[in-house]
Amino acid sequence: MNKRNKNIKDIVNPNQLLSRFNPRGFGALKFLLEKEFKQILRNKFLIRVIIFLPLIALSLLPMVANFEIKNNNLAVIDNDHSPSSSLFIRKIVSSGHFHLVSVRQNYNDALNDIEQDRADVILEIPAFFEKDLMTTYSAQVNVTANAVNAVKGALGSGYLMQIIHNFSNDLRSRFMAGNSKIQTPAFEIVPRYDFNPYLEYKFSMIPAIIMMILGMISGFLPALNIVGEKEKGTIEQMNVTPVGRFPVILSKLIPYWIIGFIVLTICFIVVWIIYDMVSVGGYLEIYLFATVFVLAFSGLGLIISNYANTIQQAMYLMFFFVINFIFLSGLYTPISSTPEWVQTMSLFSPLRYMIEALRSIYLKGSHFGDLWTKFAALVGFAVFFNLWAILSYRKKA
């Protein structure tokens, strides 16, 4: 027995090994990273998620998450039948926002169109529309909108008023050219909605959706990976080794960091191909922001993985945070139009800072100097989440 013992000590003397190699440190990290990358590359499901999630989300969501109303069905009651009224109607239809579905003789018939869901908006042009315009330089039109779909109704009538306003301006300038003394003709309608009807929602939605995808991928993947290891029991095997929690956590962060960059790059390529959209500002700044943003979300994923024991728990927890972060981020609703306490809450959504930053860089070409407060906020989130993740990682059950 003695002889055998001596042999073992010759091969592996623990103290000698320790001085040469510190398993608590980063020697183990290399092996752990090797393992993670091999597993990721063999995981066909993961690779599909990385490619198809950005592709599908970016080709579908900007079309859906969109408050622009293109096909308002319009019913018209023209009681005037004058050149001015038909010019007016043609002007409305040619705007592209309206689809003329019916021309009715009376209001009740048109209302029936709305009730049957054939029309969204009714425009009633009164008799003597042209005459009034010519003599009193003003005329009244009656607009009725179906408000069952509140957004569509409000925006539909808004668009209509915008067009009416433009029409009245046209007339005004024509009359002005003829006789400067004549009082300016105008409709009595003042548009209640002051917005740009030609604003493309797509363009402000796309940067926000890119960041939503990036946040989800970099949050969900590490969380599910670690909890999956818990379920399989492999993490316990890891926990009886002398490897420290720092290398273990880094080995989970670094691969998903890289995946984050790949996903982001795929997103930009998809957006470029489908929407012919490129960033006005620098990509370097975008990736700089993304670096910190991904780190923050991965940190959140790690925290959740430390508290969840099953994949199901991790999924629910992650959804809870991600959905709240998304709705508080200003992705769908401008934060400034939410109640004040919600505005305060939105300060706790890392997604808010990232979406604001990307929209500014991508659409306006803002520079780092304009956005450093948002960057600082993201750094704060990243440090906070990852510190918590490291402190809450327990090698003991």
Binding site for another protein (CB under 8 A): 1, 4-5, 7-8, 11-12, 14, 17-18, 20-24, 27-28, 30-32, 34-35, 38-39, 42-43, 232-234, 236-243, 395-397
295/304 Cα distance (integer angstroms): 14
Collapse the DSSP code of 334 into the 3-class scheme (helix H, G, I; strand E, B; otherwise coil) and give the result: coil
Q: Concatenate the DSSP letters of all residues of 341-366 into one string.
A: HHHHHHTT-HHHHHHHHHHIIIII--
Nearest distance from residue 339's CB to another protein, in Å? 44
CA distances from 39 to 32, 43, 211 (A): 11, 6, 26
Nearest distance from residue 390's CB to another protein, in Å? 16
CA distances from 204 to 68, 215, 331, 349, 357 (A): 12, 18, 9, 19, 12
- Cβ proximity to another protein: between 54 and 247 the closer is 247
Nearest distance from residue 332's CB to another protein, in Å? 39
Nearest distance from residue 7's CB to another protein, in Å? 8
**Rounded (5°) CA angle 31-32-34:** 65
Q: Which residues of 246-260 are buried (b: 16+ CB within 10 A; e: fewer)?
A: ebbbbbbbbbbbebb
100/164 Cα distance (integer angstroms): 16
Residue 382 phi/psi, 5-degree rounding, is: -60, -45
- Cβ proximity to another protein: between 172 and 395 the closer is 395
- Cβ proximity to another protein: between 149 and 309 the closer is 309
Nearest distance from residue 253's CB to another protein, in Å? 18
- Cβ proximity to another protein: between 7 and 179 the closer is 7
Nearest distance from residue 263's CB to another protein, in Å? 22
25/218 Cα distance (integer angstroms): 25
